Structure 1
Amino acid sequence: MILDTSIVNKDLPPIPAHMQELTDEDDFPLFDDHGRGWDSSLETYPRGARAIQHNSFAHYTKAGRGLESNACIKRDGSISISLKVKKRLPDLPSDHAKGVHEFAVDKDGWKNVPKLNIVIMIVGSRGDVQPYVALGKKLREDGHRVRIATHQTFSSFVEDHGLEFFDIGGDPKELMSYMVKNPGLIPGVESLINGDIPRKRRMLNEMIDGCWHSCYSPCPTTGRSFAVDAIISNPPAFAHVHCAEALGIPLQLSFTMPWSPTTAFHHPLVSIQESNAKRGITNYLSYALADILTWHGIGDIVNKFRSRTVNLKPLALYSGPSYVDTLKVPWTYCMSPALVPKPEDWKNHIDVVGFYFLDLATSYTPPDDLLAFLGAGEPPVYIGFGSVVVDDAAAMTMTIFEATRKAGVRALVSAGWGGLGGVTVPPHIFLLGNIPHDWLFDGDRVAAVIHHGGAGTTSAGLAKGKPTVVVPFFGDQPFWGNMIHRAGAGPAPIPRKKLNADNLCDAIKFALSPKAKAAAAKMAARIKNEDGVNKGVESFYKHLPLKNMRCDLDPSRAAVWWFPKYSLKLSGFAAQVLADAGELEMQTLKLHRPKEYSTKRTVTDPITGSAMSVFWIVTHFSGGLVKTLTSPKDGLIETTTAIPRGIVRTISSIQKGFHNLPELYGCEVRQEGQVYDFLSGLREGSKSLCYGCYDGVAGLVIEPWKGAQKEGLVGIMKGSARGCANLTICPVAAALGAVKHPMKGAIKSIQSCFDEEQESTSYRLAARVWDGLLATEVVSASEKDALLRKFEKVKEDAEKGRNSFMKMVEMAISTVHSWRAEIEKSHSPDTHPPRKYPTRASLV
């Protein structure tokens, strides 16, 4: 990374580890070893840190042989990027993205989903929370337990709709005020100057910890235990993938604006200031640069959480910004394909399903004065900026009043969190409080909608066929304004700092034109048929690793335990029934991990990795690698898998049997090395394969030689028999060892994170046991008997498999013993006459 030398001196802290570019392996010491000078709890910074913050948080520059790139936060809050290609560069081909082979999904039986405990993590405003309340209600109707983890402000709203609420901390009003100046939670120039960063970083740290606690903490209201089975989250809840990785559970990301790299359009938070690259690759790289800037601001906090709280390795610049993209975590975008068609390079792990609408109109009773105003003239326009906090509320209010007067329209004005500044209200204006948009925008109550461009208000207005004027403040709002304008349902968006009475008046007149009304009506007709909530639930189900989430004895229930003895996935109910019947001890069970995430996932060519992969290829311009931009390899990207620990133990037992079998007939056995992580397991696996094959072949010579030293000719014969047996047995043990040791090492690497009985683990264990106990109380005896019969069948099959294996071992031992007996018999003095030695005459 290139730093501005005018603001850097020897007194400043070093570049944090999360921003270091590592070339060999994306690995480094834990957070405690590299975080000095950048503690997120600091209220003030060391001398000169303001300058380095500006560079680290609000600006990024990278220069290489192929590309010089620059990204920075401007004073208006947008991300400005410039790309200067130094050598001729092809555009990304239309087929550059590959399909994703998702682990354990059930393509045919995805509707058969066991009842799950689901956490929906949402950071943002009321408009961000409301769509997921609609989704949560539908999931609850399907029998799942749904917990909405968001800010305390929305507790009543969530609970009034019958969903469980969990407070993750953070003040959304303060957050919205901050995001007006800092889109995507990335600190901008003003925040660097006025000292907002320490306060907001503490808030971010609080929300990340809150999201983690929402995965296992009991219900704050009822005290009922809880252990999460799956996570749905929006991107600003930055803990999502790290919680899923730590717990070994599936994650589904969802958002109201595009967040996945594509060549079709640039990142919603980005404006392209300058680029001499092709449009497709410029758009694609905008996502990488936006991710890098976000990582600048939050990387050290995320790594602190990973290393100190959930015992995961920290991430660096090559892995951290694109972590979700590289892992190919599935996405569901709750936006209308009529407004934003799904790009061709969003593959099968990404769905665009339509807006999520929450029906609030049926329970709303409007006040009399509002009904009187609506009936007193032509339909008014609606003006509201939702949860956005306006710096100068009085000036904004006067602009609205003057623009509506000039346009000759009446207006309903919603104050929201921005306030109105205490000005006198003219007669053509009616002030609104909190009101359901689905009621207000229905029919002919309003003629058009003027708002900030939030996804919630955008979807509500377009669904009712209302022309829309967008005055964007931050985030995805400019994106939605441009999409509406492109569809013809409204004028070009007016940035808030350029808003005045004249251009707002012109925008209102455009929205009331027949052309805009027709375009909005056409859009409403398409949105009506989308059924976003139901399709969102279907998308969630289709991407779950259901084949690894169902109980082996009762597939209608979720597997929460792993039974090592019989390699079974068990539900809480099944485990408790077996425990009550004396078939198992609960202490022998392990928590089941249905989905694993690998930071070392190998891809077949660099372009399939992520937008960050393409960014580094283009920046450093390695000629051979750049060719992959135009000819990516065919095939599917493999997502990570979950290897049940019991399978490792099964292979380990078989391998040990073959490994030690030569001892039964007098051969020496090599001592196996210790396996303590994946690398040591890989090393031992390689040694096992090499030595096993070597011992098998070399035994044909070595064993007879050893026998000759001990017993002469009889020893030679015995050694030959042992050598022949080794030739069969050692390579088998070698092959099994080559599988066992790396698998055991991988499990050790994962298990090392969970050996200690942490608070989260103890809570989850208790929740699983309690759920099993409750389930057995409400189930009939016949169902329990049916489950026990299934288990008996499993035991019989396991016993048959064990007997088959033992027969194979016994046959091998019997063969060796028969060879030995034949050899000894052939050299017995009772069966052989005295040996005749040759004479001199016979030799002649």
Structure 2
Amino acid sequence: MRVLLSTYGSRGDVEPLVGFAAALRVLGTEVRVCAPPDEDFARRLAGAGVELVPVGPSARELTEAAPPPSSLPERAAQLIAAQFDVVAAAAGGCDVLVATGMTPAVAGALSVAEKLGIRSVVVTFQKVVLPSPHHAPLAYPGRPFPPEVTENRALWQLDAESVNALFGVALNTNRRANGLAPVDDVRAYILKDRPWLATDPVLDPWQETPDLDVVQTGAWITPDDRPLPDDLEAFLAAGAPPVHVGFGSMPMHAAADVARVAIEAVRAQGRRVVVQQGWAGLSAVDDSGDCFVVGEVNHQALFRRVAAVVHHGGQGTTTTAARAGVPQVVVPQAADQPYWAGRVAALGIGVAHDGPAPAFESLSAALRTASAPEVRERAAAVAATIRTDGTEVAAQLLFDAVGRSAGASAGASAAAAGGAPRIPLYRRPPTFPVAQSREGQAPAVTSA
């Protein structure tokens, strides 16, 4: 079986595919990955034995440039065109395409699969992009929802209108140019057949809705056995557990002095600090021996050795910290990060900072709360419920649907019939354990 994994986005959109690709290769599957051409993405994929097929501009350069919201339709048009060019070439000979990442990239990749007559499946790493009466959608930059509209179904209708306004013209221009019929509802086209939700059902519980059939596989965690650098090991061994501060692929434009604020707030708690550079390029503020700066590092190993983790609230970092059983202070910056901050607070495993630019006082207060014994106990309890087999579950589902049951001939038959089927599933994913929330109610978990 040959599989193409297609994404466009930041580290949080690429890292899960590393683990998924590795799990697919264990089943004897040939895997290709289309993703942004950033060096750290290529390095992580190479570690899993998978070559990166670069598509679109550098995600890091785009993020650091912070283009205005008004440029989104133009950037989306370029990204969709790249799908029909690069992804179409990479998908040649593949049996199935797995699409995730930014909405225009997903819509373009699915159109490529349709054109080639191969199967496809859509994956998301946060439920807040899936329409549901139980939660509200995320507003696109520059397109806030009217304050008087508060009902979730009405908000999701406005979301569909935004998706069409932002991406519909570019998508349909490329579809027509490639002999495909235009689509009237871009979001409905993307989500029409059982999307996969690759998140942990304790951290991100999906509530069933009659409007959308969702398969929750569990989080896609990449096993990481890289040792910590010797100098970091020496720093950790030289004193009490430090606090880790890092904001991943966030440039931290709203908080230019965040390194100074964080280091001073951690020191005020009597703790040492490990500062991770990330895309914000964080650095030490002095040459004191209580601060250690790291670049790329194994979070799975490091987080088990720290007293708390201060981060941006990406799904991957939130899940890794929760799995490590360490208290979290989430300083959300954009997109789904406020949602993950809220989940951390609701589960009682940390604190959601109010706003993207922490001050010394606000971050100090958050650290004091996160350091409470009951928060650490709660974090340890939730850690015991986090599943680590999401990539294996998803890989087996895909293999059962394509590798064993249908094979490549189904794609050829679909092409002859004028359409490309989405993935049918022949068995249900396992039921996951649940943990009691802070309020004493068990988060709902679906096994689709």
Range class of TM-score, shorter chain: 0.7 to 0.9
Q: Which amino acid aligns with 1:245?
A: E
Q: Summarize the alignment of residues 260-409 of structure 1 with structure 2, pairs less than 5 Å apart.
A: 260-269=130-139, 274-275=147-148, 282-308=151-177, 310-316=178-184, 319-325=185-191, 328-345=192-209, 349-360=213-224, 362-367=225-230, 369-391=231-253, 394-409=256-271
In 1, distance between residues paired with 2:403 and 2:176? 27
CA gap of 1:391–1:235, structure 2 versus 1, over 3 A, is: closer
Match of 1:159 in 2: 46
Shift of residue 540 of structure 1?
3.0
Instruction: Report sequence identity in percent.
Output: 27
Q: Which amino acid aligns with 2:226?
A: S
Structure 1 CA distance for aligned equivalents of residues 298 and 279 of structure 2: 16
- SS of match in other structure, 2:352: coil
Q: How does 1:140-155 map to 2 (within 5 A)?
A: 140-153=25-38, 154-155=41-42
CA shift in 2, pair 1:171/1:510, >3 Å? same
Q: Which amino acid aligns with 1:323?
A: Y
Q: Which residue number corresponds to residue 755 of structure 1?
A: none
For normalisation by structure 2, the TM-score amounts to 0.83
Indicate how the Cα distance of structure 1 residues 446 and 503 shifts in structure 2: closer, same or farther if over 3 A, else same: same
Matched with 1:232 is 98
Q: Which runs of 5+ in 2 are unaligned?
A: 423-448
Give the number of aligned pairs. Answer: 413
| One-letter amino acid of the structure 1 residue matched with residue 152 of structure 2 | N
* 2:342 is aligned with 1:482: yes
**Match for residue 200 of structure 1 among 70, 75, 84:** 75
Give the AA of the match of 1:324: I
Contact kept? 1:262, 1:284, Cα under 8 Å: yes
- Change over 3 Å in CA distance of 1:269–1:140 after alignment to 2: farther
> How much has 1:531 moved relative to structure 2?
1.9
SS at match of 1:363: coil
Counterpart pick for 1:250 among 113, 119, 138: 119
User: For residues 211 and 254 of structure 1, do their structure 2 counterparts lie closer, same or farther at Cα, with a shift above 3 Å needed?
Assistant: farther
3-state secondary structure, aligned to 1:302: helix
Q: Which amino acid aligns with 1:243?
A: V
**What residue in structure 2 maps to residue 807 of structure 1?**
none
Change (3 A) 1:594 1:403: farther
Give the AA of the match of 2:100.
N
Stretch moving more, 348-357 or 333-342: 348-357
The residue identity in structure 2 corresponding to 1:363 is R
Query: 2:195–2:214: 8 Å Cα contact kept in structure 1?
Result: yes
Distance across 1 between alignment mates of 2:377 and 2:31: 40
1:381 to partner: Cα distance = 0.9
Q: Quick check: 2:9–2:101 contact (8 Å CA) kept in 1?
A: no
Which structure 1 segments of 5+ residues have no match? 1-115, 182-189, 217-225, 551-557, 563-568, 570-589, 599-844
- Counterpart CA distance in 2 for 1:155 and 1:173 is 13
- Aligned-pair CA distance for 1:489: 0.8
Structure 1 pair 541–409 and aligned structure 2 pair: CA distance change class (3 A): same
CA gap of 1:332–1:321, structure 2 versus 1, over 3 A, is closer
How far is the alpha carbon of 1:302 from its aligned partner? 1.0
2:57 paired residue among 165, 170, 178 = 170
Q: Is residue 485–residue 493 contact of structure 1 (8 Å, CA) maintained in 2?
A: no
Of the three residues 355, 371, 374, the one matched with 1:495 is 355
Instruction: For residue 376 of structure 1, report the CA deviation from its aligned partner.
Output: 2.1
Residue 276 of structure 1: CA displacement?
A: 6.6
Pairing 1:518–2:382 present: no
Map of 1:414 onto structure 2: 276
Structure richer in helix, relative to its length: 1
Matching residue within 368, 371, 393 for 1:535: 393
**More relative contact order in 1 or in 2 (CA 8 Å, sep 6+)?**
2
Q: Among 364, 368, 372, which residue is 1:509 paired with?
A: 368
User: Relative to 1, partners in 2 of residues 1:382 and 1:372: Cα closer, same or farther, differing over 3 Å?
Assistant: same
- For normalisation by structure 1, the TM-score amounts to 0.46
Cα displacement string for residues 788-836 of structure 1 (whole angstroms, at most 9, x for unaligned residues): xxxxxxxxxxxxxxxxxxxxxxxxxxxxxxxxxxxxxxxxxxxxxxxxx
How far did residue 383 of structure 1 move? 0.7
Letter in 2 for 1:479: Y
1:213 partner letter: A
After TM superposition, give the deviation of residue 469 of structure 1 in Å: 1.1
Q: Is the 8 A contact 2:6 2:87 kept in 1?
A: no
Equivalent-residue separation in structure 1 for 2:254 and 2:345 (angstroms): 27
The 3 A distance-change label for structure 1 pair 165 and 256 is same
**3-state SS, counterpart of residue 344 of structure 1:** coil
Does the CA contact (< 8 Å) of 1:559 and 1:592 recur in 2?
A: no
Query: Residues 304 and 379 of structure 1: is their aligned pair in 2 closer, same or farther, counting only changes over 3 Å?
Result: same
Q: Which residue of 1 aligns with 2:440?
A: none
How far apart, CA to CA, are the structure 1 residues paired with 2:73 and 2:206? 39
Please give the root-mean-square deviation of Cα atoms over the aligned residues, in Å: 2.9
Shift of 1:413: 0.7
When Rg is computed on C-alpha atoms for both structures, the one with the higher figure is 1
